[in-house]
Amino acid sequence: MRTIDWDYTNNTIIMIDQTLLPRENRVIECRTIDSLCEAIKSLRVRGAPALGAAGGFGVALAAQISTAATLAGITHDIETAGKTISATRPTAVNLSWGVNRVTRAVEEAKNIQEARMFALDEARLIADEDVEKNRQLGKHGAKLLEDGDTVMTHCNAGKMACVDWGTALGVIRSAVEAGKDIKVISCETRPLNQGSRITAWELMEDSIPVTLITDSMSGHVMRKGMVDKVIVGADRITADAVFNKIGTYTHSVIAKEHGIPFYVAAPVSTFDFEQFEDDIEIELRRLRRWMWLFITLRLMQPLWKM
Amino acid sequence: MRTIDWDYTNNTIIMIDQTLLPRENRVIECRTIDSLCEAIKSLRVRGAPALGAAGGFGVALAAQISTAATLAGITHDIETAGKTISATRPTAVNLSWGVNRVTRAVEEAKNIQEARMFALDEARLIADEDVEKNRQLGKHGAKLLEDGDTVMTHCNAGKMACVDWGTALGVIRSAVEAGKDIKVISCETRPLNQGSRITAWELMEDSIPVTLITDSMSGHVMRKGMVDKVIVGADRITADAVFNKIGTYTHSVIAKEHGIPFYVAAPVSTFDFEQFEDDIEIELRRLRRWMWLFITLRLMQPLWKM
């Protein structure tokens, strides 16, 4: 199944709970906005494009479960839900992008029934378009990879970060599909191990050779000539910076030091050229008493200078 | 108690089992060369200077438990044990340094009793000298740290890596002892978490402010001006390279990129100027099916160019 989808039988959002991977491949249902927000905050669904679909399906869910008797009432419920959903991951621009797109689609509605229908159709369209966009991104990106390349990646910009196929891993999948022999080095991605839990699992499921390393090993493997290219996804790309999982900036400096090409694979929805680095609030999470964790962080001013 | 010591009551080596920290502070005994080798291989005792003492006490233990009836017999037992001990961690030069020093001390012995006594005295001397050396290292190194500095460190070059006080953390302790206000950023140090389990624990025990970060965050914290200096220990320093825990090289490249001073605190026993980088065998450990872990790795050719 897709990473996130609409269940027409029960009128709910269904998704693979990514916090349980790779041990368990469990599908969970979100019947309320609160449960969707919890799933987003807990990273049960994560990754920029998947969050776009989650935002869209969230507004669609708000439209289905609204008990308002008027079009103004359902519009109010949708807007309230949209704000709540967008606030769960402030750096993830795709989330509010999905929310806004479906909210705007509802503006065309002339009655409650149309509002519900338009919202769901638009949310479905976001999901379908995302799969098609990733396929296109993969097709174009695959040209950058050569037969025999070893490609390093960080975090998970794969199928599980999107609705299907993946951005950074989509490029790798498309290159493999085109007959190229590609090996992958996946960084563990502390603190939540998306690299070891999700990326390595996804690639093993697809029989693409993958070696897992600790994040700090990137310097060693690049110095030893074990990496031909680096490719990562992005949470947000502003006019002056790429934002992505903590560690991406570190890998980019190491790649620059060793003259290794560093690519960011991201769909247009990730671009946000009206904002600048300093406008973006970074998500901080505190685990235990003395452990600060920066989940999403700025990537690579140095890259612009390369 | 010290990290590693001789128990005169039971004629055994005693040490704090570092694999159980910070949850449990358990002292274990080594009554045989096999149990000492197991403790070294399992990193129950680790850190260059502590391994020097472990090597010395190991030879002393071999002398005490030898059942040989002649001086030649006990010398043979000591040499056999020394080779076995040295082979457990080939990159850790201090281990064989400690073994060789005590083995040489035994050469002066004229009978079995003297062999046992000389071995134990020399091993004790290594431990005592190590504490004194760390104190001196701390005293000199503390001059490099200024009041108000935030110092980043990787892995554990603290009391638990030595017999007492520490090398990199010894420098920090001496600066604090001299009245300077020093804050520490400790990198988690995957895969075995010596930074979070041991360094953060040691510093909290001493009430020195410490913030734990994931290894990949070093790029972010250095870019944001949150780090004034970096100080680490070393496993081995050859004529052309510093060898230390995986990740050290990555941090050094990031420090160079941001113009942040990077110091290595190590006693003379860590120096091995007769060898070169390519002579050194790197320790590799394989965890799980697809996870390669490099425990000890080359650090910083780029630093020489700074």
Cβ separation of B219 and A247 shorter than 8 Å? yes
Task: With CA atoms as reference, report the closest residue to A78 among A97, A93, A96, A64.
Answer: A64
* C-beta atoms of A218 and B293 within 8 A: no
The residues of B annotated as belonging to the active site are: 235
Chain A residue with minimum CA distance to B186: A291
Q: Does A15 score more than 50 pLDDT?
A: yes
Strand B271-272 versus strand B236-238 pairing type? parallel
CATH 3.40.50.10470 domain span(s) along chain A: 139-277
Q: What is the pLDDT of residues B69-100, one digit of tens each?
A: 999 999 999 999 999 999 999 878 889 999 99
Closest CB to B246: pick one of A204, A214, A290: A214
Q: What is the mean pLDDT of chain A?
A: 91
Q: In the numeric block, which tokens belong to residue A293? A: 């964790």
d(CA B191, CA A125): 42
At residue A89, φ and ψ (nearest 5 deg) are -135, 80
User: Where in the sequence of chain B do the CATH 1.20.120.420 domains occur?
Assistant: 4-136
Distance between CA atoms of residues A4 and A49, nearest Å: 10
Fold (topology level) of B139-277 = Rossmann fold (3.40.50)
pLDDT for A235-274, tens place per residue? 889 999 999 999 999 999 999 999 999 999 998 878 888 9
pLDDT for res A297: 42
Q: In what order do the strands lie in the sheet with A229-232?
A: A262-264, A229-232, A150-153, A183-187, A210-213, B291-294, B284-287
pLDDT grade for A183, boundaries at 50, 70 and 90: very high
Task: Using CA atoms of A238, A242, A246, A248 in order, give the dihedral in degrees to the nearest 10.
Answer: 180
Phi and psi torsions of A35, nearest 5°: -70, -35
Calculate what percentage of chain A has a pLDDT beyond 90: 79
pLDDT score at A286: 58
CA distance A294 to B167: 29
Neighboring chain B residues of A253 at a CB cutoff of 8 Å: 219, 253-254, 257
Q: In this structure, are residues A37 and A80 in contact, taking their beta carbons and an 8 Å threshold?
A: no
Stretches where chain B sits below pLDDT 50 are 288-306
User: What pLDDT does A294 receive?
Assistant: 40
DSSP three-state, residue B10:
coil
> What's the pLDDT tens digit per position in A144-177?
999 999 999 999 999 999 999 999 999 999 999 9
B95 touches chain A (CB under 8 A): no
Residue bearing tokens 């970074």 = A282
Which of A223, A250, A256, A303 would best serve as a mutation to test chain B binding (most B beta carbons within 10 A)?
Answer: A250
Which residue of B lies nearest to A244 if distances are taken between CA atoms? B220
> Catalytic: which of A149, A215, A235, A272?
A235
Which among B200, B246, B302 has CB closest to A216? B246
In the stretch 227-256 of chain A, residues with CB closer than 8 A to chain B read: 246-247, 249-254, 256
Count of beta carbons in the 10 Å neighbourhood of residue A274: 8
| Average pLDDT rounded to a whole number, residues A195-207 | 94
pLDDT attached to residue B209? 96
Asked: is B4-136 a CATH 1.20.120.420 domain? The reply is yes
How many Cα atoms are found within 13 Å in the side-chain-facing hemisphere of A170? 29
